[in-house]
């Protein structure tokens, strides 16, 4: 088998295409012949030892894959050789074969291509958990999505619209704004790359409130962080919910007096931990997502595909925040 390995701490340029022995599945495990692997922001962090999970080296990044079960270990009942599945691996996905616990693999619909399946579970799983379980989003409410043109962001746009919400997509360029409008966003807001200035922050808050049509938005989905967070919280309506999803712009410091003044909540979204701690809820959410996919209400928007040996380029594109939707690695 072949894998793109991280052998030392560093950026995408240090990944090495390596030949390795094909692993055998152990008890309650399966081996998947990987056809496609999704590329996600945590992949850029894990190779720098900046992610919550720090696997021993050498390891391949890649937290979600799709392919065919080609070997089954002892005590696996729900999967069989030849099944088409997606797998949630955490890491190891940038490889032609992958062994993982059978409970981390899910059969995919017959009409779902491998590239879409490999770009489905992490982004849509995160955003569905965030909006449904953490924000308890209701039809008729308004949602501001920061970083709306990225993988989890565009998934949140589709899912919020499917829930009957008004969606305001905040992005950094007109190209990204159009991408979000095409996905169903009701309003778009182009923010400046420099938000450290107080005047810029105040203007940002005022723009959000104006687009909400009321005194603020009900839910904020923040996949950006940094200096955008505080002005976003200031734009919340009474009893609003601010979802903490990611920090590519840095970890923000939010004055807690804002939560008192607005009666609002700051809510953490850790989808990976949710899948392990609340497996029944996660299974129900996956059922929701496959139903929405079959109804055409959600569909991974893949903007670029790379060969395995060029996985570093895919990670660099993501790291530079130049990705629209999702990027996928396809195997030979």
Kindly report whether the global pTM for this prediction surpasses the value 0.95. no
Tokens matching residue 6: 């991280």
Confidence of residue 214 (pLDDT cuts 50, 70, 90): confident
Q: Are residues 9 and 82 in the same domain?
A: yes
Identify whether 37 is part of a domain.
Answer: yes
Q: Are residues 264 and 143 in the same domain?
A: yes
Please give the mean pLDDT across all residues of the chain.
Answer: 95
Q: What does the pLDDT read at residue 176?
A: 96
Looking from the CA of 219 toward its CB, the CA atoms found within 13 Å total: 31
What is the Rg, in whole angstroms, of the alpha carbon atoms belonging to the chain?
Answer: 20
Q: Are residues 116 and 138 in the same domain?
A: no
Q: Are residues 185 and 262 in the same domain?
A: yes
Domain that holds residue 249: 123-272
- Judged against a pLDDT cut of 90, whether residue 197 lies above it is answered with no
Could you report the per-residue pLDDT of 167-179, keeping only the tens digit for each? 999 999 999 999 9
Which of 272, 291, 320 delimits the end of a domain?
A: 272
Could you report the per-residue pLDDT of 54-109, keeping only the tens digit for each? 999 999 999 999 999 999 999 999 999 999 999 999 999 999 999 999 999 999 99
Q: Are residues 205 and 309 in the same domain?
A: no
CATH number at residue 246: 3.40.50.720
Report the percent of the chain where pLDDT is more than 70: 100
Number of folded domains in the chain?
2
Identify whether 287 is part of a domain.
Answer: no
List Cβ neighbours of 107 (8 Å cut-off, separation of 6 or more). 79, 83, 84, 85
Could you report the per-residue pLDDT of 242-294, keeping only the tens digit for each? 999 999 889 999 999 999 999 999 999 999 899 989 999 999 999 999 999 99
Q: What does the pLDDT read at residue 144?
A: 98
Could you report the per-residue pLDDT of 216-252, keeping only the tens digit for each? 999 999 999 999 999 999 999 999 999 999 998 899 9
Identify whether 278 is part of a domain.
Answer: no
Q: Are residues 165 and 33 in the same domain?
A: no
Identify whether 77 is part of a domain.
Answer: yes
Q: What share of the chain is helix, strand, coil (3-state, %, to 5)?
A: 35, 25, 40
CATH number at residue 317: 3.90.180.10
Q: What does the pLDDT read at residue 322?
A: 84
Identify whether 291 is part of a domain.
Answer: no
Query: What is the biggest distance separating any 2 CA atoms in the chain, rounded to whole angstroms?
Result: 62
Q: Are residues 111 and 150 in the same domain?
A: no
Identify whether 284 is part of a domain.
Answer: no
Q: Are residues 222 and 267 in the same domain?
A: yes
């Amino acid at each position: 088998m072949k894998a793109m390995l991280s052998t030392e701490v560093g950026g995408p340029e240090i990944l090495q295409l390596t030949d390795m022995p094909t692993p055998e599945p152990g008890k309650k495990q399966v081996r998947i012949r990987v056809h496609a692997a999704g590329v996600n922001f945590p992949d850029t962090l894990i190779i720098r030892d900046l992610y919550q999970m720090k696997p021993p080296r050498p390891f391949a990044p890649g937290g979600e894959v799709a392919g065919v079960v080609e070997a089954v270990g002892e005590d696996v009942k729900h999967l069989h050789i030849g099944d088409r599945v997606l797998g949630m691996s955490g890491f190891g996905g940038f490889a032609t074969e992958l062994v993982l616990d059978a409970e981390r693999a899910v059969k995919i619909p017959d009409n779902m291509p491998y590239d879409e399946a490999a770009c489905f579970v992490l982004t849509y799983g995160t955003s569905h958990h965030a909006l449904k379980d953490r924000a308890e989003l209701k039809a008729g409410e308004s949602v501001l999505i920061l970083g709306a043109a990225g993988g989890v962001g565009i998934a949140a746009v589709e899912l919020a619209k499917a829930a009957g919400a008004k969606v305001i997509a905040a992005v950094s360029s007109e190209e990204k704004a159009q991408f979000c409008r095409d996905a169903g966003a009701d309003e778009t807001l182009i923010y400046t790359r420099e938000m450290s200035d107080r005047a810029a922050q105040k203007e940002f808050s005022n723009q959000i409130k104006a687009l909400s049509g009321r005194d603020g938005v009900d839910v904020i989905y923040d996949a950006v962080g940094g200096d955008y967070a505080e002005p976003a919280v200031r734009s919340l309506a009474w009893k609003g919910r601010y979802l903490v999803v990611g920090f590519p712009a840095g970890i923000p410091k939010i004055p807690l007096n804002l939560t008192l003044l607005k009666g609002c909540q700051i809510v953490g979204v850790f989808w990976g931990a949710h899948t392990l701690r609340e497996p029944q809820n996660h299974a129900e959410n996956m059922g929701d997502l496959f139903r929405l996919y079959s109804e055409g209400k959600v569909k991974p928007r893949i903007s670029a595909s790379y060969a395995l040996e060029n996985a570093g380029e895919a990670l660099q594109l993501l790291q530079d925040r130049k990705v629209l939707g999702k990027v996928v690695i396809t195997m030979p």
